[in-house]
Structure 1
Amino acid sequence: MDHLRELRSRIVKAVLAIVVGIIVALVFYDEILNFLAHPYDQIRPDLEAKGIDTTLAITGVGGALQFQLKIGLIVGLIGTCPLWLWQLWAFVLPALHRNEKRWALLLTGVGAPLFLAGAALAYIVLPKAILVLIGFVPSGWESIVTGKDYLDFVVRMMLVFGVAAEIPLVVVLLNRLGIVSARQLVHARPWIVVGIFVFAAIATPTTDPLTMLFLAAPMTILYFVSEVIARLTDRRRGRRKADEAADDEASEL
């Protein structure tokens, strides 16, 4: 019952943090909306130069309210993730051993910045992706992009780039657990690089190779970095096994 009461308390605190985050996001709704629409505004002159009229629109009687609530919910969840994730972490923490705690903290400390870096890269690539996709509209036609579709596109791009940035973390974790060795990573390198480019081509919603390279190139570099880390880990593991074998040898006495 003590554990259940603690779980209830943690959940209540997490929900309250999310609610406060949503309220703050709604208060700063105009600033957040301008931030999200900035990539679209950047490419509008280029599209007009091609003879394509484009505009962001909200459809339906309650569309504006739904769109505002959706932005508040997404921003509130993302903005308060350190708080509600900490509540979940604090509930699980007492059940972990010291070594497990160290690794969990290390993975969290490395994984979060990698995800944020990937999401930031997606925001930089967004204008190019939008320009390519809307550029298929015939000249003289008007492109009406609904707020829902635009928000879904932005969130999808950031999620894809953020998850892709976690590649070195996954590879290092598999190597640390002994599932994959550095030698296996070297032998599988050509296939993994091809797989990365195939994933980038499928995950990015655009059809141009430039956007695919923006995702595939960092993923490939991060894979090479994780390969080097795995090689160093295997060497350290090999030296440790050699020392243990030396301790088991019979002494001269």
Structure 2
Amino acid sequence: MSLRDHLRELRRRLLIAALGVVAGAVAGFFLYDIVVSLLADPVITYGEEEGRQQTELAFNAVGQPLDLLIRMSLFVGLVISSPIWLYQLWAFIMPGLKKTEKRYAVAFIGASVPLFLGGILIAYWILPRAIQFFFSLNPEGTTNIIAPDVYFTFVLHLFLACGAAMVIPVILVGINMMGLVSGKQVLKSWRGVVMGIAVVSALAAPGGEAITMFFIMAPLTLLFAVAIVMCLLNDRRRDKREAREREELLGATPVE
């Protein structure tokens, strides 16, 4: 396709993805109280074991409740509509793939959705442990009065970062299938990637707990390793196909 056709296709895919997120946000509006209650629970219940409330979520502006409602509804919409916008992402890539490779792209679509949702679940598991660690650093006799927009910004960043981290290896394989990066190039970067995963896992693990760090680092490292293997296999398959096509072309060329 021409550049104009690519841009037109991108606009169409983005529009469909946006409509999916908006539709999911409508559902998020009705789930707002439930979601906020679940995510705020680690803060609200902190200190109950000692018999005294040590934390509080307090709005400090008139419009903050409405702002929080919109943001949380959009977040829920993003999670609910993940099958739609992830499919649109792959559907934009698929026209650039050969017919045989599109079958693998369909499999990647099916893998990316549970991986994204799995990242959200990992973040939900990390959240109360992170809250426990950070609040344990409070000086004696102090408490936390947190603005909801500050707290939920932290929560949303954590959730989206974990979800994106789980999907990135799948996108990496898709980029390899487009021929933009080779498996050897991905393999050469493994030290930096593993180091980055370790740093992110250490930062996400409250107090540097080894078990928590392992549960964060292990799936990300495994997914990156699987992505490397798939990129290398795809490169080998592409090289064999190109060699076969060259042989057929040379065989079909008349000898003068």
Alignment TM-score > 0.5, same fold: yes
Instruction: Determine the structure 1 residue equivalent to 2:61.
Output: 60
> Which secondary structure does the structure 1 equivalent of 2:145 belong to?
strand
With 220-229 and 108-117 compared, the bigger mean Cα shift is at 108-117
Q: Is the 8 A contact 1:24 1:76 kept in 2?
A: yes
Instruction: Determine the structure 2 residue equivalent to 1:119.
Output: 120
Matching of residue 163 in structure 1 with residue 164 in structure 2: yes
Structure 1 residue 37: Cα displacement: 2.3
- Report the TM-score, using the length of structure 1 for normalisation: 0.70
> Which secondary structure does the structure 2 equivalent of 1:153 belong to?
helix
Change (3 A) 1:175 1:73: closer
Aligned pairs, number: 237
Q: Is the 8 A contact 2:28 2:73 kept in 1?
A: yes
Structure 1 residue 43: Cα displacement: 5.1
Instruction: Determine the structure 2 residue equivalent to 1:227.
Output: 228
Structure 1, unmatched stretches of 5+, are none
Change (3 A) 1:34 1:187: same
- Report the TM-score, using the length of structure 2 for normalisation: 0.70
> Which secondary structure does the structure 1 equivalent of 2:57 belong to?
strand
Q: Could you tell me how far apart the structure 1 residues matched to 2:44 and 2:180 are? A: 47
Instruction: Determine the structure 1 residue equivalent to 2:34.
Output: 31
Q: Could you tell me how far apart the structure 2 residues matched to 1:160 and 1:106 are? A: 23
Q: Which has the higher contact order (CA 8 A, sep 6+)?
A: 1
Q: Could you tell me how far apart the structure 1 residues matched to 2:229 and 2:16 are? A: 43
Q: Is the 8 A contact 1:172 1:229 kept in 2?
A: yes
> Which secondary structure does the structure 2 equivalent of 1:193 belong to?
helix
> Which secondary structure does the structure 1 equivalent of 2:37 belong to?
helix
Query: What CA RMSD, in Å, does the superposition of the two structures yield over aligned residues?
Result: 4.2
Structure 1 residue 113: Cα displacement: 2.5
Structure 1 residue 141: Cα displacement: 1.4
Matching of residue 70 in structure 1 with residue 68 in structure 2: no
Q: Is the 8 A contact 1:167 1:222 kept in 2?
A: no
Q: Could you tell me how far apart the structure 1 residues matched to 2:193 and 2:19 are? A: 40
Change (3 A) 1:246 1:192: same
Structure 1 residue 52: Cα displacement: 7.8
Q: Is the 8 A contact 1:161 1:215 kept in 2?
A: no
With 117-126 and 53-62 compared, the bigger mean Cα shift is at 53-62
Give identity over the alignment, percent: 31
Q: Which amino acid aligns with 1:27?
A: F
Q: Could you tell me how far apart the structure 1 residues matched to 2:19 and 2:250 are? A: 59
Change (3 A) 1:45 1:229: farther
Q: Could you tell me how far apart the structure 2 residues matched to 1:205 and 1:73 are? A: 27
Structural mapping, 1:124-139, within 5 Å = 124-139=125-140
- Deviation string for 1:214-253 (max 9, x for gaps)? 44332211111111112221232233234334435659xx
Instruction: Determine the structure 2 residue equivalent to 1:174.
Output: 175
Structure 2, unmatched stretches of 5+, are 1-7
With 185-194 and 217-226 compared, the bigger mean Cα shift is at 185-194
> Which secondary structure does the structure 2 equivalent of 1:58 belong to?
coil
Q: Could you tell me how far apart the structure 2 residues matched to 1:16 and 1:109 are? A: 17
Q: Could you tell me how far apart the structure 2 residues matched to 1:209 and 1:156 are? A: 21
- Deviation string for 1:82-141 (max 9, x for gaps)? 56x49x95xx88xx5785894765554433332221111111111111111111111221
Q: Which amino acid aligns with 1:150?
A: Y
Q: Which amino acid aligns with 2:29?
A: L
Instruction: Determine the structure 1 residue equivalent to 2:5.
Output: none
Structure 1 residue 165: Cα displacement: 0.9
Instruction: Determine the structure 2 residue equivalent to 1:208.
Output: 208
> Which secondary structure does the structure 2 equivalent of 1:55 belong to?
strand
